[in-house]
Amino acid sequence: MLPRVFIQFLNGALGQVEASEDGVVGVLTTGVTVSTTFVLNTTYKLTKFDDLTPLGITQGNNPGIWKLMTDLYSQNPNGAEVWLKGFANTVNMTDMVTRTTVNGVQEMLQTANGRIRTLIVHRTPVTYTPTITAGLDAEVITAIAQAQITANWAVDTLKAPLFVAISGLYFSGVGSALTAINTGTNNRVCVMVGDTVSGSNGCAIGLLAGKIAAVPVQRNIGRVKDGAVLGVTTAYYAATKLESNDVTVVHDGGYITLRTHVGRSGYYFVDGPLAAPTTDDYSQITARRTVDKAFRIAYTTLVNEMLDEVSVTDKGKISVAYAKSIESKVENAIINSMTANGELGNDPGDQNDTGVSCWINTDQNIVATGQVNVTLKVKPYGYAKYIVVSLGFKTLTA
């Protein structure tokens, strides 16, 4: 077996722009070629909305891409790193996100050199008759499974973890018709429904991509303190306003959508669920992004130790000095990159709580196996999703 660093994600522990590479987005969508400046099945890098101009992309020739990028950059007025690949209008989302598709997602991920953290899959077909299953285009469900496969490949092969956000196309607008997607094991995939255009068959997934790119890894996209989603004045499920629909049903099915808050103007994201049950530690975008960042830091730190000499005891086991050295390197790297930025849920009242712990069992015979098993854990934040208030009258007592 080729010498390598292999990191496995632990599960079951929770019980339920250029300045930051964490916001790098990849976009797979349909469109049309524009002369020689924008060619389908080719990867392009953007850092700002105006980068569409040299590509020749306009609202007239590629309205789907134009809207998606308008929404994305509306949440990032200072810019964001986006990798864009267009496909013919006949290509469905499942094929877009299938790794083996020629000049497809694999090429883009490799061209971006593993920088992509969030992958968006969208489609705006010109002429298309969808097969509606459970309130959505049936291909949304098949794309979920394929997206999980591709995301797992990115982790295992590229050592570049990411998650995939899929457009909930042709949503009927009836929340009760949706099939719940939070019962499977696709904890690297999410689906969004709802748009800012009445009667749309698509969704405003560019807003989701832009919001994710704009906030740190531990931040819930629905955080009220961040304010309403920028630039959104109305939101719709199909042809009816969002306010006329039962957003709770949509959320409970595991979908991402917009919502309103009484007493506040504008629209907010309801939450950030992935297509996995709440018992999965990685069923939320916040958890996924946090642990994926720790993965990347740990990999970068540990790959430097590959095939290095390891001091051992007279029984061929790892020395305490070596173990402590590696533990410190990993912990310090994560402390400097995450704890210092407030991305881990360490207790501010405990000066010894860094939010990360790395441990190497010295009872490992590395001489016999050539393997070092490392346990790395990072502490997440809790999120005030339900605030329960006991309210009553205060009366005078004798």
Model pLDDT for residues 337-373, shown as the tens digit of each residue: 999 999 999 888 898 899 999 999 999 999 999 999 9
The segments of the chain whose pLDDT lies below 50 read: 15-19
Q: Is residue 294 part of a domain?
A: no
- Token pair 């719940």 in the structure block, residue: 180
Query: What is the rounded distance in angstroms from the CA atom of residue 133 to the CA atom of residue 137?
Result: 6
Residues 139 and 249 in one domain: yes
Q: Is residue 236 part of a domain?
A: yes
pLDDT at residue number 4: 67
pLDDT at residue number 245: 87
Helix 63-74 vs helix 205-214: crossing angle, to nearest 10 = 30
Question: Residue 153 is which amino acid?
Answer: W
Last residue of a domain, one of 233, 257, 288: 288
pLDDT at residue number 279: 93
pLDDT at residue number 19: 44
Residue 180 DSSP one-character state: P
Sign of CA dihedral 390, 391, 394, 397: negative
Residues 333 and 398 in one domain: yes
Query: What is the rounded distance in angstroms from the CA atom of residue 233 to the CA atom of residue 153?
Result: 39
pLDDT at residue number 384: 77
β-pair type (118-121, 163-167): parallel
Helix (H) / strand (E) containing 1:
none
- Token pair 């499974």 in the structure block, residue: 145
3-state DSSP call for residue 139? helix
Q: Is residue 378 part of a domain?
A: yes
pLDDT at residue number 17: 36
Write the DSSP assignment of 182-245 as a string of letters.
TTSSBTTEEEE--BSSTT-SS--HHHHHHHHHHS-TT--TT-GGG-SPTT----EETTEEGGGS
Query: Tens digits of per-residue pLDDT, 241-267?
Result: 998 888 999 999 999 999 999 999 999
3-state DSSP call for residue 46? strand
Residues 108 and 194 in one domain: yes
Residues 368 and 257 in one domain: no
Residues 51 and 200 in one domain: yes
Query: What is the rounded distance in angstroms from the CA atom of residue 103 to the CA atom of residue 361?
Result: 44
First to last CA, the chain: 81
Domain residues for the domain of 199 are 21-288
Q: Is residue 210 part of a domain?
A: yes
pLDDT at residue number 144: 97
Q: Is residue 299 part of a domain?
A: no
**Domain total of the chain:** 2
User: Which neighbouring-strand residues pair with 86?
Assistant: 29
Last residue of a domain, one of 254, 288, 322: 288
* pTM summary value: 0.92
Residues 222 and 100 in one domain: yes
Where are the strands (E) in the chain, listed by range?
25-30, 43-46, 82-87, 118-121, 132-133, 136-137, 163-167, 189-192, 236-237, 240-241, 258-259, 268-269, 356-360, 374-378
pLDDT at residue number 322: 94
